[in-house]
Structure 1
Amino acid sequence: MGKLQDCPFQQGKIAQQKVIDENGLLFPMVLLPQEVRDEGNTLESFLHTIESNREWINDHLKKVGALLFRGFPLKSASDFNTVMEAFGWDENPYLGAASRTRVVGRVFTANEAPLEQPIKFHHEMAMFEDFPTKLAFYCEIAPPDGGQTAILLSHKITERMGEKYPEIVSKLEKEGLIYSAICPAEDDPNNFVRGWQTLYNTKDKEEAERKAIDSGLKMSKVSWDGNKMIFQLEPIASIRTVDEDKKAWFNLLPFGGPEHPPLIGDGSVIPKEVVELCLQIVEEEAIEVKWEVGDVVVLDNRFVMHARRPSKPPRRILASFCK
């Protein structure tokens, strides 16, 4: 461990960290309290350090993509909410369909899908134009086994996919992807998404359609199969240029898997072997963060993907979304 230049944090280590540039920057960057004595490591001192070093934090988040704050005395969702306010970032409204609940202020539960189910790699709200540029997680209860949050630099996927399938990558960047989704009427505890009646706070299909169209998703078609709502979206950007030098793999291709990939924007099918290579690269590039109580992980959602590994209960991770 050592002091980071011009910043009152100690730098820590976790397993699987990767060196990402010639200056030795690590992904993720682990930041520890400068004061190791209990009386010096308070929530108030942490908030003061954040507020006094916002420019440094923003700069290094932009460089590295992921900051893990560990060893600070956060005890509750309210503490986490206070920390998020200290960063100075505006809240980004949550528009997604994942099953989650607002806890306090700008803090939500993370996806409430059963813990034994993995959540595959994705950018938060990748299908929306108004996606959060920053995403933060807080560990209130660390799982006894498993439950790591895995992260990766998504422009590394673009680089490696481009080496093998340059024409496909060029097409994805130009044409985007067409997503389809089926939304049940009622919430299903074994499903990753909420039912449309909960999502749009209505049981009226016409009202649900209007709210879906106004949600920020670019719908090309909304149809019904009984009480199931079926979305088809207009082509959505699948590779986004970030800070002029990163082409982020900003899509849900790793989420759907080879059996249910989206279509390329011109209507053509993505070959199964392309999706399989993408999934292989994703796992090779992934870093797993093993949670400790009080951890806060901040991600640059523009070029960092995240996923959830299966775990045994209890596990309680909270989330906050920022512009």
Structure 2
Amino acid sequence: MDSQSTAPTQQANTVPERQGPADSELPIMISPTYPGQPLLEAFGDLRADIESLVTRVGGVLLRGFDVPAVDDFQQFAAAFGHPLLSYEFASTPRSAVSSGIYTSTEYPAHQHIPLHNEQAYTREWPMKIWFHCVTASPEGGETPIADSRAIYRRMPAEIRERFAPGILYVRNYGDFDMPWQQVFNTEDRSEVEAFCQRAGIRCEWKPDGDLRTTQLCQSIETHPVTGERVWFNQGHLFHVSNLQPEVRESLEELLDPEDMPRNVFFADGSPIDDAIFDEIRGVLAEETVMFPWQAGDVLMLDNMLVAHARTPFKGPRKVVVAMAEGHGNLSND
């Protein structure tokens, strides 16, 4: 994988058509030393720069390299030295493309997926995440990103203080959300119970055979390498205010509060007012960085330092994902 070229790596702070806060460096763009340079060939020269930049800035965009197949992307991600992770305790539908490679979230093209850090709704998550654009949508389909350190700093102090003890995620699987069999990749209830016990999740089988899980997770975390505080949760995705108003109204007519497909509460179980998440979403919007994909792009992020999203799109779009380097806080108990 080592490159034969000794030419310096080309870096640029400005990605064409980038939109976002002026004080954010995201993402640092790295270009090949010659047109069409294979990404795997360049890996030896790129690795130190990439790792340093990902730790400092949070993300790099590798653009202009030759990535002839998804297998090449898989080899590139795996070359950083950590086994690629499977997608466990899922919150959104994905399909496996190959070992350790998944489709990006398979929500309908017209839907916006808000900013989030991957699996921040659990107490175990990947430290690194890679995205590879195989096919760029002709309209929309960007993967916006945002600095989780800047989000934490910008978040109103009273919200940080109220969220500091963590937030409680409640999920009801079945008719109105993903079935538990898909989330846990098993049909065996005992396997679900064993996973939940190990992961610090309280699970309850309801009379109709469906499952409810409850878990207290972090809202704010400390990066294990940089020591920086980051806003690290998916409360704004799980709270009922994330539903379309007409969907929320219908579900609230049908279901008791504890039976809503997804919801999130303060650590003491008290409800979180919609207005708080309005403020949180405003902070996320102010820190959002967006740029159009180009076919062949590879985006590597530190999953604790940088959140990601997806904009609606039209036409074909294919972006695949890899994750590695598991981390968590279960040992803190």
Name the amino acid aligned to 1:170: E
Q: Distance in 2 between matches of 1:109 and 1:194?
A: 17
2:54 counterpart (45, 48, 61):
61
In structure 2, relative to structure 1, the CA distance for the partners of 1:121 and 1:225 (3 Å cut) is: farther
Q: CA deviation at 1:82?
A: 1.9
Q: CA deviation at 1:29?
A: 0.6
Match of 1:79 in 2: 72
Q: CA deviation at 1:241?
A: 1.5
Q: Distance in 2 between matches of 1:145 and 1:227?
A: 43
2:227 is equivalent to residue 226 of structure 1: no
Name the amino acid aligned to 2:130: A
Q: CA RMSD in A?
A: 2.4
Q: Distance in 2 between matches of 1:197 and 1:92?
A: 19
Q: Distance in 2 between matches of 1:197 and 1:220?
A: 17
Give 3-state SS (helix, strand or coil) of 1:259's partner.
helix
Superposition map of 1:301-316 within 5 A? 301-316=303-318
2:41 is equivalent to residue 48 of structure 1: yes
Q: CA deviation at 1:277?
A: 0.7
Q: Distance in 2 between matches of 1:313 and 1:194?
A: 26
Where in structure 1 are there 5+ consecutive unaligned residues?
1-5, 186-190
With structure 1 as the length reference, what TM-score do the two structures score? 0.82
Query: How big is each residue's C-alpha offset from its partner over 1:60-98, in whole Å with a ceiling of 9 and x where there is no partner?
Result: 111111111111111221121122133333323321312
Give 3-state SS (helix, strand or coil) of 1:273's partner.
helix
Name the amino acid aligned to 1:109: T
With structure 2 as the length reference, what TM-score do the two structures score? 0.80
In structure 2, relative to structure 1, the CA distance for the partners of 1:120 and 1:208 (3 Å cut) is: farther
Q: CA deviation at 1:31?
A: 1.1
Superposition map of 1:76-225 within 5 A? 76-97=69-90, 98-162=92-156, 166-173=157-164, 175-184=165-174, 194-203=178-187, 206-207=189-190, 209-214=192-197, 217-224=199-206
Contact 2:20 2:288 in 1 (8 A): no
Give 3-state SS (helix, strand or coil) of 1:262's partner.
strand
Count of residues in correspondence between the two structures: 295
Query: How big is each residue's C-alpha offset from its partner over 1:98-136, in whole Å with a ceiling of 9 and x where there is no partner?
Result: 211221232111112222222121110113333100100
Q: Distance in 2 between matches of 1:17 and 1:276?
A: 20
In structure 2, relative to structure 1, the CA distance for the partners of 1:180 and 1:9 (3 Å cut) is: same
Query: How big is each residue's C-alpha offset from its partner over 1:13-48, in whole Å with a ceiling of 9 and x where there is no partner?
Result: 232255547xxxx21111111213xxxx332xx323
2:265 is equivalent to residue 282 of structure 1: no
Give 3-state SS (helix, strand or coil) of 2:124's partner.
coil
Q: Distance in 2 between matches of 1:157 and 1:198?
A: 32
2:220 counterpart (204, 226, 239):
239
Match of 1:8 in 2: 9
Q: Distance in 2 between matches of 1:10 and 1:315?
A: 27
Give 3-state SS (helix, strand or coil) of 2:217's partner.
coil
In structure 2, relative to structure 1, the CA distance for the partners of 1:322 and 1:202 (3 Å cut) is: closer
Q: Distance in 2 between matches of 1:259 and 1:17?
A: 25
1:256 counterpart (238, 263, 266):
238
Give 3-state SS (helix, strand or coil) of 2:71's partner.
helix
Q: Distance in 2 between matches of 1:88 and 1:184?
A: 38
Name the amino acid aligned to 1:31: I
Where in structure 2 are there 5+ consecutive unaligned residues?
1-6, 243-262, 326-333
In structure 2, relative to structure 1, the CA distance for the partners of 1:96 and 1:220 (3 Å cut) is: closer
Name the amino acid aligned to 1:154: S
Q: Distance in 2 between matches of 1:95 and 1:201?
A: 8
Percent identity between the aligned chains? 27
Contact 2:21 2:286 in 1 (8 A): no
Q: Distance in 1 between matches of 2:149 and 2:11?
A: 28
Contact 2:130 2:300 in 1 (8 A): yes
Match of 1:188 in 2: none
Name the amino acid aligned to 1:301: N
In structure 2, relative to structure 1, the CA distance for the partners of 1:50 and 1:116 (3 Å cut) is: same
Q: CA deviation at 1:212?
A: 4.5
Give 3-state SS (helix, strand or coil) of 1:131's partner.
strand
Give 3-state SS (helix, strand or coil) of 1:27's partner.
coil
2:20 is equivalent to residue 29 of structure 1: no
